[in-house]
Amino acid sequence: MKKILIVFGTRPEAIKMAPLVKELKKHTEFNTKVCVTAQHREMLDQVLGFFKITPDYDLDLMEANQTLNQLSARVLTAIDNVLVDIEPDLVLVHGDTSTSSMVALASFYRGIKVGHVEAGLRTYNKLAPFPEEINRQITGRLADIHFAPTEQSAQNLINEGVNSSSVHITGNTVIDALLWGINHVNEQREDIQEIKKFIKTDKKLIVVTGHRRENFGNKFYEFCSALKELANRADVQLIYPVHLNPNVQKAVYDTLGDHSNILLIPPLDYEAFIWLLNHSYLIITDSGGVQEEAPTLKKPVLVTREFTERQEAVLEETVKLVGTNKNKIVKEAFLLLDNKKEYQRMIGNKNPYGDGTASKQIATILKNF
């Protein structure tokens, strides 16, 4: 029996690793343990509750105002005891977080093999996104087996000298999570009922998220100014679950706090959020995961970033990069609001991130690893 340790720490990681945890636990060939660093605490716990996952180890490393260096040092130290206790044959990490890169490094130091889920995403700009681009490159150098979501991400790894025999194209587990989640949403939840009170069926609903560090400051105020102009239209409504980071909160509430056509709410847990995405007309976001999820839900996305490691969706034209330039955001949003043909063209394109079978594919590959 192969001992597999799955480690994650943030809400996005938890969402994307949850279907893999559930899949691996179905197989008697694996002794699967779960460790969370709780790099995010409350948001992580919401996801664990929704997917009914109980961690075997909870390192509880979240501290207010800790720096990336402090967090990284704490992850590297704390995970060592878990590795000694379990002695896993393989450690699975996800994506691009400090948890992923530090757990991969600790495993490498212990001579334990590493599997990287959502491997090979690249912008090749170390500051965009920051610090994720370097985190995933570090993990990619340390990993022994790479689960790439797309042909492009696999090719990135091969171009960097990774042995092609260790690279497997599986699709993205986020689609597995989304399809499972949509089927398990409880519409009677209090937060969903409150949102329903705001939504008017004769208006087009725009869902907004924004939290990227590289957009803080003047860029974020310009982004908010674009949202305000969109909300002045009589035929739209905006709902913005506002990230808890003070840099985000100040810009959003300074600019948008008194607009009757905008609903500003606290961050939603995963269940309510995917319900909201599914009921939207248009999504404006700087989130990586939403870029992957929205095409499955047939929702067009305007991405408020200059660079994206998810170029497949740009090439497939299910998303458009608009940066934080007010005029560009407004122009592209108006086009999708007013031009039905353009809207149908965007939502008619194929989701390049898979069909919801990534976790099953990874389990099959691991049986032979």
Residues with catalytic annotation?
A: 96, 118, 132, 211, 213, 243
Distances (CA, A) of 35 to 68, 94, 141, 229, 302: 20, 12, 22, 45, 35
Give alpha helix (H) positions in 199-279: 218-231, 246-256, 270-278
Distances (CA, A) of 295 to 151, 171, 258, 311, 366: 18, 14, 32, 14, 28
Element (H, E) at 348: none
Residue 204 DSSP SS3: strand
Amino acid making up residue 64: A
Amino acid making up residue 245: N
User: 319 with 300: CB under 8 angstroms?
Assistant: yes
Other C-beta atoms within 10 Å of 106: how many? 22
